[in-house]
Amino acid sequence: MSHTFHKGGVHPPENKITASCHIIEVELPREVVVTFSQHIGAMAVCCRSKGEHVKRGDLIAKASGFVSANVHTPISGTVTRLDKWKTAFGYAADTVTIVADDEDHAGDMASIAGRETLRTAKEVASLSDKDIVEIIDNAGIVGLGGAAFPTKVKLSPPSGMNADMLLINGVECEPYLTNDHALMLAAPQKILDGIKLLMKAAGTDRAVIGIERNKDDAIKLFEKLTTGDPSISVAALDVKYPQGSEKQLIKAVTGREVPSGALPIAAGVIVHNVATAYAVYEAVYLGKPLIERIITVTGPSVKRPGNYNVPIGMNIADLVDIAGGVPADTGKIILGGPMMGRAVVSLDAPTIKGVSGILMLPYDKSHRDAVQPCIRCAACVDACPMGLEPYRLATLSRHKMWDEAEDDKIINCIECGCCSYSCPSSRPILDYIRLGKTTVGSIIRDRQSKK
Amino acid sequence: MSPVIIAIIVLGTTGIAGAVILYAVAKKFYVNEDPRIALIEELLPGANCGGCGRSGCHDFACACAAASSLDNLVCPGAGTEVMTKIGDIVGLAPSTAKAKIAVLHCNGSCANRPVTSTYDGAKSCAILGNLYIGASDCAYGCLGQGDCVASCRWNAIHMDPLTGLPVIDSELCTGCGACTAVCPRHIIELRDKGPKGRRVWVACANKERGALALKECKAACIGCSKCRKICPHDAITVENNLSYIDSSKCKLCRKCEAVCPTGSIIDSGFPLTLKEMEALAATRHQQK
């Protein structure tokens, strides 16, 4: 039996340059810019004022609604500015700037070196599922696979729906990225503790960790650690993109299919990333909110590519400098991986929770080929893991035929980019589908709100 | 009987029977349509642009025929002459609404706005705007991918390759408003065409504070209020660091244009001054 999903998918060159790199701790910066909208959902509301002194891990902005997440500061310091700051994509976002003086910095360094645990294993065992969800909520934990969906929302399914299985996503199918891989090798036991907490919170007694076969060391490590524990198992999966997508991972591991328009919980599964499990461990055992994450800084000509543990809010340009600066031949810098990431216009922007990688591509690899006419080869249809007809959806949204696009389930597109990747005429298929998806999505929301 | 004759008889009878049925049905279900609708529709441009607020030219013609007053019924594509003719057909006075034209609230040409990136995705402003800020640092100005050009049914808009901005042809623009609806930055406005086609407007949409706006674009409105202070007709308001000229109050004196420090107020339709003509002649001479 082959272990992967069957419909569509592609296999781009893996280019995992940083696969054997250990996690490098980044020194705490003296200044961070914390943005309020680091997750999917409503923007968090700032609860600090100018001139206020904050400690590392203090709450900066409070979640404003069910689908929202708290935001904390990764350094101690004084709030010096409350204003707009341009993100890496150029648009302005509300931010807080925190500046640390020598004393703050020394204090933070000492607290990191000390690293006391908040709860002992016994205390953790006595926590109820509700307690764990509350801790996760307070810690501002979001899905660290890239989408940054608030974790507590996934753990609070609609009534009547129950998960019988927790799926842990260690697939990391994006080329170049190795942050999850590095974390799995560095802290497997902590991840397993996090998984147990997530299982308790979700009310399931079974968890499966899905890992692709190109991470053989991680598979062996987890298999060794989970022998004798029947509740947690490891699924070694064949390498295929986009296996890290929720629906494809569920199909690959369980064979179940998530119905169109439904959440994974409808198939009885909740999916969390390995890094999210690690963040849950840190929040529950150490009382540490989500203020750091691992970011892969990579690219063919980067001087010191690696997996960096970065305080969230640190300037991207500073992080790139640590990795050896922007190579002279760079033509494009992408936040995330090459398949789903987005190119940036400026590096003078803060890092946020959803950034999994910074990829610097040389000039000759950073341009699209000239667009040719569609030759009706249906390569995009074969490649689409959601069973859609990308060429048709792209044409429909180019002609603004939203009703037809809705009928053809444009909303089901997961924006993996397999269609554009496989197109021999290098047509911008996904660009148009994404436009159609957002437009149709807002049409549907308008319709529902009128009802 | 030869098969040819059989075929003729069979097909002929079927044809005649069909014709009789069709005739009877057509008589029975005949819809009595106002004959004026066809007359009005003939006068209309037939572009189905939707600028009148109706679903198309036929719908507009029906509305005209059924209306008791033409005040709210104006075909922007047809012009006053045609509207007068329609008024004659239905026996009503045509609307006195002023002719409108699309103007662009951006002058961020390549020379004025420093280019910070290149975009090679799908040619669409809507797609680009969803992805990132665009090729300059201005989050308010023209994205330059020509969604307005594609939306125009009158061929009235084209992209100027030198400036990278759309140019609206005042002869061809009917003021239907298709471009204003499609622009993701909402920087195309329908304004009064003005007497003899003369009009003055602020060619900027940047709401940043002065210094920042100027950094993003040399031709940005910095909200300095000089224009508001000098305007003798109270036609100018400054809100969110951005000036706006109310075309209903503007008397086209162009004093604001003269004082604007960044040149973000521009005009159209005025005859050239002697100085401008000399400058134009000089550049033409240079080009030769």
pLDDT in tens, A199-233: 999 989 999 999 999 999 999 999 999 998 899 99
Q: Are residues B72 and B135 in the same domain?
A: no
CATH (domain of B118): 3.30.70.20
Tokens 């005025």, residue located: B270
Contact at CB, A432 and B120, closer than 8 angstroms: no
- B26 in a structural domain: no
Q: Are residues B196 and B231 in the same domain?
A: yes
Interface of A with B in 334-353 (CB under 8 A): 342-346
Interval A7-59: pLDDT, tens: 999 999 999 999 988 999 999 999 999 999 899 989 999 999 999 999 999 99
Work out the average pLDDT over A335-340: 94
Q: Are residues B80 and B171 in the same domain?
A: no
Would you tell me how many other CB atoms lie within 10 Å of the CB of residue A134? Answer: 14
- B137 in a structural domain: yes
Total number of domains in chain B: 2
Residue A428 with chain B: CB contacts under 8 Å: 121-122, 127
What is the DSSP track for A260-320?
TT--GGGGTEEEEEHHHHHHHHIIIII---S-EEEEEEE-TT-SS-EEEEEETT-BHHHHH
pTM score of the predicted model: 0.87
Q: Are residues B64 and B185 in the same domain?
A: no
Lowest mean pLDDT across A383-397, A416-430, B34-48: B34-48
Interval B70-103: pLDDT, tens: 888 888 888 788 888 888 988 888 887 778 899 9
Tokens (6 digits) for A8: 């569509």
Interface of A with B in 360-389 (CB under 8 A): 367-368
Ranges of CATH 3.40.50.11540 domains, chain A:
128-286
pLDDT tops 80 at residue B29: yes
Q: List the helix and strand counts (H, then E) for chain A.
A: 15, 17
Q: Are B135 and B148 in contact (CB under 8 A)?
A: no
Nearest to A90 among B127, B130, B139 (CB): B139
Contact at CB, B132 and A435, closer than 8 angstroms: no
- B69 in a structural domain: yes
Residue B117 with chain A: CB contacts under 8 Å: 343, 345
CATH class of A128-286: alpha beta
Q: Are A75 and A100 in contact (CB under 8 A)?
A: yes
pLDDT tops 60 at residue A1: no
Would you tell me how many other CB atoms lie within 10 Å of the CB of residue B80? Answer: 15
CATH (domain of B83): 1.10.15.40
Asked if A434 reaches chain B (Cβ–Cβ under 8 Å), the answer is: yes
Q: For residue A427, is it left (φ>0), alpha (ψ between -120 and 50) or beta?
A: beta
Using DSSP, state whether A4 is helix, strand or coil. coil
Q: Are residues B81 and B172 in the same domain?
A: no
Residue B122 with chain A: CB contacts under 8 Å: 428, 431-432
Tokens (6 digits) for A169: 């996503």
First to last CA, chain A: 47
Q: Whole-angstrom Cα distance, residue A437 to residue A435?
A: 5
Distance from CA of A403 to the nearest CA of B (A): 17
Residue A397 with chain B: CB contacts under 8 Å: none
Interval A302-326: pLDDT, tens: 999 999 999 999 999 999 999 999 9
| Domain extent for B68 | 35-90
Nearest to A345 among B120, B127, B132 (CB): B132
Tokens (6 digits) for A4: 């992967």
- B25 in a structural domain: no
Interval A146-195: pLDDT, tens: 789 999 999 988 888 888 999 999 999 999 999 999 999 999 999 999 99
Q: Are residues B46 and B168 in the same domain?
A: no
Given CA atoms A213, A215, A217, A221 in this order, what sign does their dihedral have? negative
Would you tell me how many other CB atoms lie within 10 Å of the CB of residue A331? Answer: 15
Q: What is the mean pLDDT of chain B?
A: 91
Contact at CB, A90 and B133, closer than 8 angstroms: yes
- B168 in a structural domain: yes
Q: Are residues B107 and B73 in the same domain?
A: no
Q: Whole-angstrom Cα distance, residue A295 to residue A355?
A: 7
- B20 in a structural domain: no
Q: Are residues B279 and B154 in the same domain?
A: yes
Q: Are residues B44 and B178 in the same domain?
A: no
Q: Are residues B268 and B149 in the same domain?
A: yes
The one-letter amino acid at B243:
S
Q: Are residues B128 and B270 in the same domain?
A: yes
- B115 in a structural domain: yes
Distance from CA of A348 to the nearest CA of B (A): 13
- B117 in a structural domain: yes
The pLDDT value given to residue B107: 93
Q: Are residues B153 and B44 in the same domain?
A: no
